[in-house]
């Protein structure tokens, strides 16, 4: 038994924010952003009207409809996001409520793997379906970055990159050996965890620890057990990113993990019909494309329009590529992601 994608859908907010629009709040330029990242514009959700969950619900309804089922048929939800509506509970239960799946009391799992959240979550969903435990797993990646970016010159290295949106798939079992998820590979390296992170809220001790004294020994060095104390001391609630460290690791790990999944099924890069790289940065995607020697028509990028939507970027791109007729039945589709953690992974799917 394999898991196949039986339904897919995505949603991006209507509000378009151009690079030029950002210059109102920070010292940046359209030229700088396009040259370094390929991004021309991104979408921002409407404040107080949309959230990570409401966007996910729209994408999920499309995937559910395409799969020919109703929300009540979903028997498990997996939700990947780094920008949840609340610190807790996670968005999985909020999505369950938004979809009106209240009678069946199905399980909902939240995935915290940032840019590789969709690939990680998909592999979890794959295991549930392959083992016969669930028949209709809803896997969603959704992000509302615009609610948590630093809109000033100090935050410009990060804020210009990220955008909002959601993508969803329904996974169902198949006995057909010519379709479905063929293999996945997942990796992590926590030694650089603070190089791409939001530190607060958190119990690391940068800020916000309650000022109480129960008489036991304490240290005055916040974050001393963590790798990068200086960064933690800032206790910052906005994302911090060492862009060059991310770039250098990403261009190595993307091709490496793709080659690993290809080796799992005795295939080579030439066998890939469509590569959907996580939309981190167009320059990273182009580097991966050159390394694997893939022609333009075998790689799908939409970061130019949406920026980096982290956990939502792969399902949005997959959904758009499918809607545009760029993925056909029988195609070997390769998903690959790299991001905060660092975590990275790849999945190969024989499209159905």
Q: Pairing mode, if any, of strands 76-80 and 107-111?
A: parallel
Q: Which of 243, 259, 267, 269 binds ligand COA (CB under 6 A)?
A: 243
Q: Which stretch binds ligand COA (CB under 6 A): 55-63, 69-77, 220-228, 278-286?
A: 278-286
Whether residue 137 contacts residue 170, with contact meaning beta carbons closer than 8 Å, is answered with yes
The answer to the question of residue 117 lying near ligand COA (CB under 6 A) is no
Q: Which of 146, 149, 148, 129 is nearest to 138 (CA)?
A: 129
Q: Does 284 bind ligand COA (CB under 6 A)?
A: yes
**60, 181, 185, 246: which one binds ligand COA (CB under 6 A):** 246
Place of tokens 């959700």: 45
Scanning the chain, the segments in alpha helix (DSSP H) are 19-22, 30-37, 52-66, 91-98, 117-130, 156-159, 229-233, 243-264, 282-292, 303-306, 313-323
Q: Is there a catalytic annotation at residue 278?
A: yes
How many residues in the shown chain lie near ligand COA by CB under 6 A?
A: 22
List the x/- string, 301-320, binding to ligand COA by CB under 6 A.
Answer: -------x------------
Q: Which stretch binds ligand COA (CB under 6 A): 39-47, 82-90, 181-189, 237-245?
A: 237-245
Distance set, CA 302 to CA 61, 235, 315, 329, 348 (Å) = 22, 33, 11, 22, 20
CA angle, residues 229, 233, 235, in degrees to nearest 5: 125
Among 32, 151, 226, 238, binds ligand COA (CB under 6 A): 32
Largest CA distance in the chain: 66
From the CB of 246, what's the least distance to ligand COA, in Å?
4
335 scored as a contact of ligand COA (CB under 6 A):
no
Q: Which residues are catalytic?
A: 115, 278, 308
**Binding interface with ligand COA (CB under 6 A):** 28, 32-33, 36-37, 115, 156-157, 160-161, 196, 241, 243-244, 246-247, 280-281, 284, 308, 338-339
């Amino acid at each position: 038994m394999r898991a196949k994608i039986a339904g897919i859908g995505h949603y991006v907010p209507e509000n378009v924010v151009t690079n030029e629009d950002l210059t109102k709040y920070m010292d940046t330029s359209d030229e700088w952003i396009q040259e370094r990242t390929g991004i021309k514009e991104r979408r921002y959700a409407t404040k107080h009207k949309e959230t990570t969950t409401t966007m996910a619900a729209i994408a999920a309804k499309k995937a559910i409809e395409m799969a020919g089922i109703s929300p009540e048929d979903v028997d498990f939800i997996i939700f990947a996001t780094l920008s949840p509506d609340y610190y807790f509970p996670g968005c999985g239960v909020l999505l369950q409520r938004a979809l009106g799946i209240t009678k069946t009391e199905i399980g909902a799992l939240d995935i915290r793997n940032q840019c590789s959240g969709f690939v990680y979550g998909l592999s979890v969903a794959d295991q549930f379906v392959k083992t016969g435990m669930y028949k209709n797993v809803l896997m969603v990646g959704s992000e509302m970055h615009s609610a948590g970016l630093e809109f000033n010159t100090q935050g410009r290295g990060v804020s210009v990159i990220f955008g909002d949106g959601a993508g969803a798939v329904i996974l169902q079992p198949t006995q057909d050996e010519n379709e479905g998820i063929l293999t996945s590979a997942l990796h992590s390296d926590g030694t650089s965890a603070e190089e791409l992170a939001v530190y607060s809220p958190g119990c690391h001790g940068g800020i916000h620890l309650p000022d109480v004294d129960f008489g036991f020994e304490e240290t005055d060095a916040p974050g001393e057990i963590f790798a990068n104390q200086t960064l933690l001391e800032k206790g910052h609630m906005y994302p911090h990113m060492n862009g060059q460290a991310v770039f250098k690791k990403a261009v190595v790990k993307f091709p490496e993990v793709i080659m690993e999944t290809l080796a799992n099924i005795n295939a080579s890069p030439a066998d890939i019909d469509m590569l959907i790289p996580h939309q981190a940065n167009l320059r990273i995607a182009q580097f991966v494309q050159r390394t694997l020697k893939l022609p333009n028509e075998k790689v799908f990028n939409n970061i130019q329009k949406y920026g980096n939507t982290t956990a939502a970027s792969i399902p949005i791109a997959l959904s758009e590529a499918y809607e545009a007729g760029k993925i056909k039945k029988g195609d070997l589709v390769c998903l690959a992601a790299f991001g905060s953690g660092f975590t990275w992974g790849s999945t190969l799917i024989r499209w159905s």
